[in-house]
Chains A and B, each alone.
Chain A
Amino acid sequence: MTPDQPPPNNLDPRAVALWRINAALGALPPLAGAAFAAFLLGRIDRLPAWVGPTLVGLAVVWAVWEVGPMPALRWRTWRYGIGEREVDLQRGWWTRTRTLVPMARIQHVDTARGPLQRRFGLASVVLYTAAGANEIPALDEATAAAARERIASLANVREDL
Chain B
Amino acid sequence: MAVGLPSIAASEPGPDRGDVPPRRQHPAWIAISAVRQLRGFAVPILVLVASRGRDGDTRMLVPLIVLALASVVWQAVAWRFLSYAVEGGRLKVQSGVFARRERFVPVERIQAVDLGETPLQRLFGVVGVRIETAAGGSGQADVVLPAVRRAEADALRRRLLQDRGPLSVGSAAALTADGARPGAEATAEDGELLRRLSPRDVLVAGATAGRIGPALAAVSFGFQFLDDLLPESAWRAVTLQAPGYGVRGLVLAVAVGAVVAWGLSIAGAVLTWSNFELRRDGDRLLIAHGLLDRRRRSVPLTRLQAVSVGESPLRRLFGLAEVRFESAGFAGASGEAGVLVPLLPLAEARAFVTAATPGFSPPSVPALSAPPPRARGRYLGDALRPMVGLLAVALVAAALLPAVRWWWGAAVLVLFPLAVWDGLLAFREAGWTIDDGRFILREGGLSRRTIVAPVRRLQWRTVVQTPFARRAQLATTEAAVASGGEGGSLRLRHLDEGVAFGLLALLASPPRSDDARPHPPDSASVPQSPGFGGAADEAVPAAGYT
Chain A 79-102 per-residue mask, 1 if CB under 8 angstroms from chain B, else 0: 001111110100010111111111
Residues of B in contact with A, size category:
35 or more
| Residue numbers in B under 8 Å from A61 (CB-CB) | none
- Is A142 at the interface (CB under 8 A from chain B)? yes
In the complex, what's the smallest C-beta–C-beta distance from B529 to chain A, in angstroms?
3
Assess the A84–B480 pair: CB atoms within 8 A: no
Q: A95-B465, A100-B533, A105-B459 are in contact. Are A150 and B526 (CB under 8 A)?
A: yes
In the complex, what's the smallest C-beta–C-beta distance from A45 to chain B, in angstroms?
14
In the complex, what's the smallest C-beta–C-beta distance from A132 to chain B, in angstroms?
7
| Residue numbers in B under 8 Å from A142 (CB-CB) | 525
Assess the A83–B461 pair: CB atoms within 8 A: no
Assess the B508–A86 pair: CB atoms within 8 A: yes
Q: A99-B462, A129-B482 are in contact. Are A86 and B533 (CB under 8 A)?
A: yes
Assess the A81–B108 pair: CB atoms within 8 A: no
| Residue numbers in B under 8 Å from A2 (CB-CB) | 498, 501
Residues of A in contact with B, size category:
35 or more
In the complex, what's the smallest C-beta–C-beta distance from B523 to chain A, in angstroms?
5
Assess the B527–A8 pair: CB atoms within 8 A: yes
Q: A130-B136, A131-B480, A131-B483 are in contact. Are A101 and B459 (CB under 8 A)?
A: yes
- Is B224 at the interface (CB under 8 A from chain A)? no
Assess the B531–A130 pair: CB atoms within 8 A: no
| Residue numbers in A under 8 Å from B512 (CB-CB) | 104, 157, 159
Residue from A7, A131, A142, A157 having most chain B Cβ neighbours under 10 A: A131
Q: A86-B508, A99-B460, A130-B328 are in contact. Are A146 and B525 (CB under 8 A)?
A: yes
Interface residues of B in 232-266 (CB under 8 A from A): none
Chain B 498-527 per-residue mask, 1 if CB under 8 angstroms from chain A, else 0: 100110110011001010010110110111
| Residue numbers in B under 8 Å from A130 (CB-CB) | 134, 136, 328, 459, 482
- Is B532 at the interface (CB under 8 A from chain A)? yes
CA distance A69 to B466 in the complex (A): 19
CA distance A142 to B525 in the complex (A): 9
| Residue numbers in A under 8 Å from B531 (CB-CB) | 83-84
**Minimal Cβ-Cβ distance residue in A for B108:** A160
Assess the B464–A129 pair: CB atoms within 8 A: no
CA distance A101 to B460 in the complex (A): 5
Pick the contact of B534: A3, A85, A150, A157 (CB < 8 A).
Answer: A85
- Is A1 at the interface (CB under 8 A from chain B)? yes
Pick the contact of A105: B466, B509, B534, B536 (CB < 8 A).
Answer: B509
Assess the A129–B459 pair: CB atoms within 8 A: yes
In the complex, what's the smallest C-beta–C-beta distance from B319 to chain A, in angstroms?
33
| Residue numbers in A under 8 Å from B480 (CB-CB) | 131-132
- Is B114 at the interface (CB under 8 A from chain A)? no
Assess the B504–A98 pair: CB atoms within 8 A: yes
- Is A147 at the interface (CB under 8 A from chain B)? yes
CA distance A8 to B529 in the complex (A): 6
- Is B450 at the interface (CB under 8 A from chain A)? no
Residue from B460, B482, B502, B509 having most chain A Cβ neighbours under 10 A: B460
- Is A9 at the interface (CB under 8 A from chain B)? yes
Assess the B328–A161 pair: CB atoms within 8 A: yes
CA distance A47 to B483 in the complex (A): 48
Assess the B303–A161 pair: CB atoms within 8 A: yes
Q: A82-B527, A105-B459, A161-B303 are in contact. Are A97 and B532 (CB under 8 A)?
A: no
In the complex, what's the smallest C-beta–C-beta distance from B140 to chain A, in angstroms?
17
Listed by A's residue number, 29 A-B pairs whose Cβ atoms lie within 8 Å are A1-B501, A1-B502, A3-B463, A3-B470, A8-B529, A9-B527, A81-B528, A81-B529, A82-B527, A82-B529, A84-B531, A84-B533, A84-B534, A85-B509, A96-B464, A96-B466, A97-B462, A99-B462, A100-B460, A101-B459, A102-B508, A104-B509, A105-B458, A105-B459, A105-B509, A129-B460, A131-B481, A157-B512, A161-B305
Chain A residues in contact with chain B, CB under 8 A?
1-3, 7-9, 81-86, 88, 92, 94-102, 104-105, 129-132, 134, 142-143, 146-147, 149-150, 153-154, 157, 159-161
Q: What 4 A-B pairs have minimum CB-CB distances, sorted nearest first?
A: A81-B529, A130-B482, A83-B532, A131-B459
